[in-house]
Structure 1
Amino acid sequence: MSNELVLVAPLTWGVAALLALVGWRIAFARILLAVGGLSLLAAIVMRLPGGMSAVRTPLGFDGAVFQLTPDALWLMGFGLPGAVLAGWLGTTARRQRMWIVGVALSLIGALGVFGLQDAVSFVIAWEIMSLGGAIMILGEHLHAETGRPVLFMLALLEVGAVAMILAFVMISAQGGDISLFDFAAQMKAMPRTEQLFVGLLLLFGFGAKLGMLPFYEWFPGAYGAGSGASGAILSGVVLNAAFFGLSRGVVSWLPVGAAFAVSLPGIFLVAIAVISAILAALYAFQQEDWRRLLSFSSAENGSIAICLLGVSLMFRHDGLTDLAGLAWTVAAIHLAGHALAKGAMFLVADGVYRASGSYRIVGRGFVAKSSFIFGVGAFFAAMSLAAMPPQAGFVSEWFLFQTVFQGFHLTSLASRLTAALAGAGLALTAAIAFATYVKVFGIGLLGHNAQSKYRMPGATSAAVGALGGLVLALAVGMPVWLGGLEKGVTTLFGSDGVSRMREGWLLVPLTSKFAFISPSMLVIAMPLLAIIPLGLLLLSRRRAVRVVPVWYGGTRPDPARAATTTLTFSNALRTFYSFIYQPTVTTEREAAHEGNGQPYFTRRLIFSHDVAPIFGPYLFAPLEKFVVALAARLRVIQSGHLNVYLAMIGLLLLIILLITLL
């Protein structure tokens, strides 16, 4: 039955894409997107904690088998709720036809990445997923210059795709087999240096979608050119699919080598991931657009997951399989909570746009003017992304630090030092992320404006409330949810560590003697603790409360002008980390045309500020200039003369003949 439900999903998405292409029943096509996702969710619930049996596909490739392993079911299962609700609500753009086509292609491609078991069909699915994301954003036309950020996105993703294909070619050439089931044995037969090179290629291939530096620089432009619904799909299903591919490459295929005293792949993954997370968090904090801020946050969380993979490799290298399984499990938990919470926040962004016509983070008092379910759902999602208890983000980040703190079990000094520095870097990332979501929720949703009468749409409120409730349910039910990963971790690491991550309703890092928490009990304890301030509030009402205006420099207070803005909230960190941000501030005065030709009277003052990207000016801009210059030189080939084309064809045939003869 579950196999049939899985088959229903791509068929339903395909029908939705066809209906959208012909421009017929667009609303029904959106419903089909949601129905396909619900069908797949039902199959996942039925098959966890075990996996799905292998099914041979009619693609015609050697080893063309489709099979969803337990880790694939987990990662896709938690990415789907946001995608289902995004498909149901639709994009904020007026034109939805091509957006629906893009969503369908992204989901079909992601399903292929999770389930296809041969290199050729896997690469095809990966490219379909990338193409679907580009079509989603291009089809919306929400930005005046949509083409440039999308082309930049595709360029970086194709760099990653080329690296991934090269890795697949090197592995397949070792044994002549393209079945992913045999890649582990084929990599084991490779020289150690080639194994490390293939591991690096896989990191760049899958890291391009996960937001690893320098690839995270496509995130704000592409996400900022699309809607929140597109962001929910890219940050949920697509991001989880990329992590699944990277996890499979470095955990299942990359052998544990005894040629080095330390785990070089693990140390490299941890180092680059921590730097990526810090930079992404810093740039997220400075954004004033909902989509751009949330996109950097997605890159940050993707980097945290990569860091945990690196920690897992370091533990596995030293034979600590239980701790290696713990690190991988925490990464899966982290991405599950992130997909739910980030999906909710992206839908909040769309609700803000539908109500106000802008994605800017400014105080409009949405929480006060919208339904209770919206406020609770958005608050739970923001709490989780800020790692506040008892939400899912708090659980995963607590597990993250408990895992890194156990680096003292590692044998080499380099590995122990890497784990210690990673803990410090991740602590900085967590602090910045906390401030970021205080800014998002405090200014963007709680920020009061007496003149604003905006109200969150009812459908958006329901969707955000549902996802926020799932975030809390994931945290509270974590002792139960962990069972869904037990078989997958046992298969990957040969460890039963997941069963020792819980003791009753307590969550522990393999042993309660090291540390423990209980989100399930916190849900009961925290409302009880709230009785104290509520009691004090009731007692205070018996006495008259004197309300006085805020001091505003001796002048008449203006709440709108005195309110905290995103610029003032972020300015302190921008100043402190100016060596990273390289901030720019410009002020232009536009003089009045009147005044007898005297430009003494300023008609308008134009103030702008920005932060400079790190890799754009020094890496991507020179590459762009090189490609443009090369294209100008090669333009002579497109002369339009038939004889030139015939000569080129003749030369090509001659080269082919010489190759075959040799």
Structure 2
Amino acid sequence: MRPEWLAPLAAVLWLLCLVLACAGIGRVLARACLAVGALLLAIAALWQLPRGMAMPALTTSWGPAGSARFMLTPDALWLLLFGALAAFFATALGTTSLRWRSWCSGAALSMLGALGCFGLQDAVSFLVAWEVMSLGGAVLLIGEKLGDTREGRGLFFMLSLLEVGAVALLTALLMLSSSAGHLDFDHFANVGVAFATWRRVVIGVLLLIGFGAKLGLLPFYEWYPGAYGQGSGASGAILSGIVLNAAFFALARAFTSWLPGDVALAIITVALGVLSAILAVLYAFQENDWRRLLAFSSAENAAIAVTLLGASQLFRGEGLDALAGLGFAVALLHLAGHALAKGALMLAADGAYRVSGDYELIQRGLLRRSPWLYGIGVVFASMSLAAMPPQAGFVSEWFTFQTLFQGFHLAGMPARLTLSLAGAGMALTAAIAFATFVKLAGLGVLGDATKKTPLPGAERGYACATGLLGLAVLALAVGMPWWLSAIDAAVHARFADVPAAPLHDGLILVPLTNTFAFISPTKLIIACPLLALVPLVLLGMARRRHRVRRASAWFGGLPKPAHGNTTPLAFSNAMRTFYGFVYHPTDDVEQGPDHSEYFVQEMRHTASVSPLFEAAVFRTPTRIVQSVAKALGPLQSGHMNIYLGMVGVLLMLILALGLT
């Protein structure tokens, strides 16, 4: 079969899943259609990427705009490959909820919409696919209700913010299509070059709002924890993988092809990306739920990719095409590692839920009782998202800093200052991300069980999926010299004038030249185990000479409690206090219902942080809408006379308009 037919075949399988789910029959078959479709997409991308060419276009005589053209470019294939791999394992395992019909329907719609965003080549079809993807995410989550959802508030918050983004996106595409005189994206190419600076910035900001609502740029990242916290880890793997990658691809295509090299827009993009990354990771560190923590982390990693996209545009604006290609390549590389690592941890969260019945980060000793693959997957994925060597996240973070350090090549002082501050912001983000994933691994899978009855280990399916995705993260890092050839093709698809400048010299990774800096994760995978032999030998020698002494832990002079495990609050409270101006933390202590004046029977302590933008941005529009609804409430009184009076007024208005 020709590779260009695999994507339409995947779409057919997802449509079949949608039909089966709506009919309520064939649960196993519906899930198999989802998984096989995702696998076919991954195979198609792997097949085509080594050729360095776009997937041959498929054209139909029907579509929202009269006809439709579908084509997957090399950068779309790259992002689709790693998003589809995470989606394959997520759909193969399915939701932890018993309500499979809405989940399968939502997964099918989400992936169909994402595929359309990657491949459709006209504005009308793209907008339809974008809305289908958003609708699919809502349907995906609406039937699960696996957390404290406050009657679906998080889901409605997500939908409202996504519609704000959709309106901004529609406005931007209308402005571009009116200038291009056509709805086809080929006619949008470089259309922004002829615009005045203010018009390019306005359209660019509208695109940032439209796509940023899905990517989680500030202030839109605040819908992430509420929505992700309602669904399962499998839902999070789809939303953080193929859906997030599709949104970034759409933004990158708009900036690199339609509005190339605008310095003012690039500075806005870098500033927005850096601030979003810092705030998202700060809030991730405070979360005590697997899904909510990983949701904020997804927004942080998307913001890092957007920062790199902005840096790429800064370099392009000053004619530094090789450095522009470097920034774009690193963004693609970063999202590839993120999709695999986030998929592994989301499915690990489902494995923990199957064992304990909740997604809370509590030391339960899962690593001691689970198959090796589960622990390997969690550790490798956490290392990658914490940017620890030799994982893929370490490689992409290193390349990120090398890209931002190249700012001294820029001539303009605003651009140079922007990248300098961006480097400092990325350093802060990396430090907090490191602590965040130490917290997740330490509290999520390490420690000992807090219950008298030992918990069983993670189920074999979740252990295998987590382990294989974790090993894929390592394979991406170790095989980076070979993977980078596929990224080169993706870069040349967007930057046709970029001179050939490899990102590796043999097994050594370099930022365009080996005279600036270099690393080699391929060699690190050999060197690290060898270096680990030194402390192991010293430990063995010490144990022969000195007897092991065991001492109890210090508990502040108090008797040793039954379980001295570290709590999430104890781990993150120092950061919560230091960044109190961001978190606005609250601590409440209340006595139990049956208490006396002198003898306390029970005390409850709760601690939380306040969303930064909820009061300043979202609460005022909410109050306005509620006030208008309250004012219009009498119109729904149910009295027939009021309704007849309204009809009479409308008739009089119609007659008046007719007479004039």
2:137 to 130, 133, 138: 133
Alpha-carbon deviation of 1:249?
1.0
1:172 to 170, 173, 177: 177
Contact kept in structure 2, 1:483 and 1:499, CA below 8 Å: no
Contact kept in structure 1, 2:103 and 2:140, CA below 8 Å: yes
Distance (whole Å) between structure 2 residues aligned to residue 247 and residue 130 of structure 1: 19
Contact kept in structure 2, 1:592 and 1:601, CA below 8 Å: no
Contact kept in structure 2, 1:138 and 1:146, CA below 8 Å: no
Superposition misfits of 4+ residues, deviation over 6 angstroms = 652-658
Alpha-carbon deviation of 1:538?
2.5
| Aligned residue number for residue 449 of structure 1 | 449
From the superposition, tell whether residues 591 and 6 of structure 1 become closer, same or farther in structure 2 (CA, over 3 Å). Answer: closer
Q: In structure 1, what residue type is equivalent to 2:158? A: M
Distance (whole Å) between structure 2 residues aligned to residue 376 and residue 533 of structure 1: 21
Contact kept in structure 1, 2:27 and 2:100, CA below 8 Å: yes
Alpha-carbon deviation of 1:638?
5.3
Alpha-carbon deviation of 1:650?
8.1
5+ long unaligned stretches in structure 2: none
| Aligned residue number for residue 163 of structure 2 | 158
Is the counterpart of residue 489 in structure 1 residue 491 in structure 2? yes
| Aligned residue number for residue 414 of structure 1 | 414
Alpha-carbon deviation of 1:7?
1.1
Alpha-carbon deviation of 1:153?
0.1
Q: In structure 2, what residue type is equivalent to 1:627? A: V
Q: In structure 2, what residue type is equivalent to 1:50? A: M
| Aligned residue number for residue 309 of structure 1 | 309
For residues 347-375 of structure 1, give each alpha carbon's deviation from its aligned partner in whole angstroms, at most 9, with x where no partner exists.
Answer: 11111111000111010011111111111
2:114 to 110, 114, 133: 110
Distance (whole Å) between structure 1 residues aligned to residue 53 and residue 319 of structure 2: 26
SS in 2 for 1:592: coil
Alpha-carbon deviation of 1:485?
1.8
Q: After the TM superposition, which residues 264-283 of structure 1 pair with which residues of structure 2 at under 5 Å, given as runs?
A: 264-283=264-283
Distance (whole Å) between structure 1 residues aligned to residue 341 and residue 486 of structure 2: 20
Moved more, 461-470 or 642-651: 642-651
Moved more, 312-321 or 642-651: 642-651
Contact kept in structure 1, 2:312 and 2:323, CA below 8 Å: yes
Q: After the TM superposition, which residues 139-288 of structure 1 pair with which residues of structure 2 at under 5 Å, given as runs?
A: 139-143=143-147, 144-256=149-261, 263-288=263-288
Contact kept in structure 2, 1:367 and 1:375, CA below 8 Å: yes
Moved more, 392-401 or 550-559: 550-559
Contact kept in structure 2, 1:291 and 1:359, CA below 8 Å: yes
Q: In structure 1, what residue type is equivalent to 2:322? A: D
SS in 1 for 2:571: helix
SS in 2 for 1:226: coil
Q: In structure 2, what residue type is equivalent to 1:631? A: A
Distance (whole Å) between structure 2 residues aligned to residue 654 and residue 439 of structure 1: 70
Contact kept in structure 1, 2:260 and 2:313, CA below 8 Å: no
| Aligned residue number for residue 577 of structure 1 | 579
| Aligned residue number for residue 385 of structure 1 | 385
Is the counterpart of residue 398 in structure 1 residue 401 in structure 2? no
Distance (whole Å) between structure 2 residues aligned to residue 141 and residue 438 of structure 1: 28
Contact kept in structure 2, 1:160 and 1:205, CA below 8 Å: yes
For residues 467-487 of structure 1, give each alpha carbon's deviation from its aligned partner in whole angstroms, at most 9, with x where no partner exists.
Answer: 001100100111101111222
Q: After the TM superposition, which residues 345-356 of structure 1 pair with which residues of structure 2 at under 5 Å, given as runs?
A: 345-356=345-356
SS in 1 for 2:591: strand
| Aligned residue number for residue 54 of structure 1 | 57
| Aligned residue number for residue 534 of structure 1 | 536
2:594 to 585, 592, 595: 592
For residues 19-72 of structure 1, give each alpha carbon's deviation from its aligned partner in whole angstroms, at most 9, with x where no partner exists.
Answer: 112121212211111011111111111111321111113315256211111111
Contact kept in structure 1, 2:200 and 2:265, CA below 8 Å: no
For residues 401-446 of structure 1, give each alpha carbon's deviation from its aligned partner in whole angstroms, at most 9, with x where no partner exists.
Answer: 0000010000011111111000001100000000000000012111
- Percentage identity across aligned positions? 52
SS in 2 for 1:500: coil
From the superposition, tell whether residues 408 and 643 of structure 1 become closer, same or farther in structure 2 (CA, over 3 Å). Answer: same
Alpha-carbon deviation of 1:120?
0.6
For residues 633-661 of structure 1, give each alpha carbon's deviation from its aligned partner in whole angstroms, at most 9, with x where no partner exists.
Answer: 34466576256347548858998999xxx
| TM-score, with length taken from structure 1 | 0.94
Distance (whole Å) between structure 2 residues aligned to residue 285 and residue 657 of structure 1: 67
Moved more, 14-23 or 238-247: 14-23
| Aligned residue number for residue 512 of structure 2 | 510
| Aligned residue number for residue 527 of structure 2 | 525
SS in 2 for 1:91: coil
Contact kept in structure 2, 1:288 and 1:360, CA below 8 Å: yes
Alpha-carbon deviation of 1:139?
1.3
From the superposition, tell whether residues 60 and 163 of structure 1 become closer, same or farther in structure 2 (CA, over 3 Å). Answer: closer
| Aligned residue number for residue 260 of structure 1 | none
2:624 to 603, 617, 626: 626
SS in 2 for 1:482: helix
Alpha-carbon deviation of 1:16?
1.1
From the superposition, tell whether residues 473 and 559 of structure 1 become closer, same or farther in structure 2 (CA, over 3 Å). Answer: farther
Distance (whole Å) between structure 2 residues aligned to residue 13 and residue 217 of structure 1: 30
Alpha-carbon deviation of 1:184?
2.4
Q: In structure 2, what residue type is equivalent to 1:31? A: A
Alpha-carbon deviation of 1:338?
0.3
From the superposition, tell whether residues 185 and 322 of structure 1 become closer, same or farther in structure 2 (CA, over 3 Å). Answer: closer
Q: In structure 2, what residue type is equivalent to 1:603? A: Q
Contact kept in structure 2, 1:591 and 1:599, CA below 8 Å: no
Moved more, 206-215 or 537-546: 537-546
| Aligned residue number for residue 604 of structure 2 | 606
Alpha-carbon deviation of 1:502?
0.6
| Aligned residue number for residue 546 of structure 1 | 549
Distance (whole Å) between structure 2 residues aligned to residue 344 and residue 516 of structure 1: 28
Alpha-carbon deviation of 1:90?
0.8
Distance (whole Å) between structure 1 residues aligned to residue 483 and residue 67 of structure 2: 33
SS in 2 for 1:140: coil
Distance (whole Å) between structure 1 residues aligned to residue 181 and residue 407 of structure 2: 39
Alpha-carbon deviation of 1:520?
0.3
Alpha-carbon deviation of 1:557?
2.7
Moved more, 483-492 or 609-618: 483-492
For residues 553-585 of structure 1, give each alpha carbon's deviation from its aligned partner in whole angstroms, at most 9, with x where no partner exists.
Answer: 45543361x222111110111111111111100
| Aligned residue number for residue 374 of structure 2 | 374
Distance (whole Å) between structure 1 residues aligned to residue 260 and residue 498 of structure 2: 20
From the superposition, tell whether residues 227 and 649 of structure 1 become closer, same or farther in structure 2 (CA, over 3 Å). Answer: farther
Q: In structure 2, what residue type is equivalent to 1:338? A: H
Contact kept in structure 2, 1:591 and 1:601, CA below 8 Å: no
SS in 1 for 2:406: helix
Distance (whole Å) between structure 2 residues aligned to residue 361 and residue 8 of structure 1: 40
Q: In structure 1, what residue type is equivalent to 2:600? A: T
Alpha-carbon deviation of 1:13?
0.9
Moved more, 639-648 or 292-301: 639-648
From the superposition, tell whether residues 59 and 521 of structure 1 become closer, same or farther in structure 2 (CA, over 3 Å). Answer: same
